[in-house]
Structure 1
Amino acid sequence: MIRSDFHLHTSHSSDSKAPMESMILKAVDLGLTKICFTEHQDYDYPENDENFDFLLDIQTYKKELFTLKDKYKDHIQVLFGTEIGLMPTTYDKCRAFARSENFDFIIGSTHIVDQMDPYESIFFETYPGKQGLTRYLEVILENVQTYHDYCVYGHLDYAVRYCPDKNYHFVYKDYADLIEEILRTVIDDGKGIEVNTGGYKYGLGYPNPHPDILKRYRELGGEILTIGSDGHCPEHMAYDFSKLSDLLTSVGFRYYTVFKDQKPEFIKL
């Protein structure tokens, strides 16, 4: 069983109301041995109906995390992380933030493309169907070619979750050139990617990224692979982790990865 969840949000992120302690207690109940909180930091997030700003109060976050880390140290290892939303216009801010704290783990993610989140309907109205994921991947490629202060790249095909076209299905060959350039860049930079089980929660039938992307990542020599639920509440922690061991071994992986002090440790599946 995979016993580490390395993508979690609490009330320190704009899109969660979950108290941090409730997440820790759930993790202990689930039998997890390590968790990493990865609260959002998304500079210049566009205006939205929910009034989310995705700006992290780092000192308040740190104070609670390290208090609870000590309180539950005999039950579970709690690690200090963040998920930084990357855009070409905010690299300098993101770089300064990433270097401002001794994070155990940093996820680099793309949430905003051309001032639009694929979560919002305007994105696929602007870039229908396949165009949406193509544009999303183009921005990821620019990010990984330019920005280096992260450990793994998050949910590489995040945009697929929100495509409103019910006839749309991800087909690897439609994006193969872009995806392979992204994966080669990540590997050459000594970074990794995550398996994000939010895809199961959104009804895709697979995690993000798609198993074909995971398979190609391994074929290209990719080894660093963290596991995260992207849970924003206790009931979504370790979401469908039971499906992952067989899936990952079927595409060539024998280990998954956890981080401390931004250094990877490989754990047998």
Structure 2
Amino acid sequence: MLADYHVHTQYSDDSDYPMEEVVQDALRLGLDALCFTDHVDYGVKRDWDDPRGVLYRPGGPGEPAQIPLANVDYPRYTAEYAALEETYRSRIDLKLGMEFGMQVHTIPQFQALFGRYP
């Protein structure tokens, strides 16, 4: 079985890889399974719907002027995953996860996130 269980997509601030392209590339490479693991880093990033707004960093060469420092846009992330899982279910085993950059003082935020997106 060939699998990649650590894949970042356009939903992480360190990637611009569209989710469906990841799936198509995995199929071309002969992978049997794939798990998306985009970033959630409370303490340094905010959620897209945070009432305080999103933080930004200056863009580097070849990037937009400002890059959002934001966690996964959970509603869009889960909806796109569900659509792709339905479309490709007979060809590849897709999983949905998140990579947590956890610090002790951010544990309550992660626990609240588990309640919203089990």
TM range (shorter): 0.7 to 0.9
Opposite residue 30 of structure 1, the aligned amino acid is L
> Which has more helix, going by share of residues?
1
Residues matched between the structures, number: 101
Does residue 84 of structure 2 align to residue 85 of structure 1? no
Q: Deviations over 1:56-97 (max 9, x none)?
A: 110100110110111011110111111111112211101221
Q: Deviations over 1:10-43 (max 9, x none)?
A: 1111221111010000101111111000111111
Percent identity, please.
Answer: 31
Regions of 4+ moved over 4 Å: none
Q: Which residue of 2 aligns with 1:12?
A: 11
Q: Which residue of 1 aligns with 2:44?
A: 45
Is this contact kept in 2: 1:43–1:54, CA < 8 A? no
TM-score (norm 1): 0.35
Q: Deviations over 1:102-138 (max 9, x none)?
A: 3xxxxxxxxxxxxxxxxxxxxxxxxxxxxxxxxxxxx
Paired residue secondary structure (2:72): coil
Residue segments in structure 1 that go unaligned for 5+ positions in a row: 103-269
| 1: CA distance, partners of 2:77 / 2:90 | 21
Deviation at 1:44, TM superposition (A): 2.4
The one of the two structures with greater contact order (alpha-carbon pairs below 8 A, sep at least 6) is 2
Paired residue secondary structure (1:67): helix
Deviation at 1:52, TM superposition (A): 4.1
RMSD of Structure 2 on Structure 1 (CA)? 1.8
TM-score (norm 2): 0.76
Q: Which residue of 1 aligns with 2:71?
A: 55
Residue segments in structure 2 that go unaligned for 5+ positions in a row: 46-55, 60-66
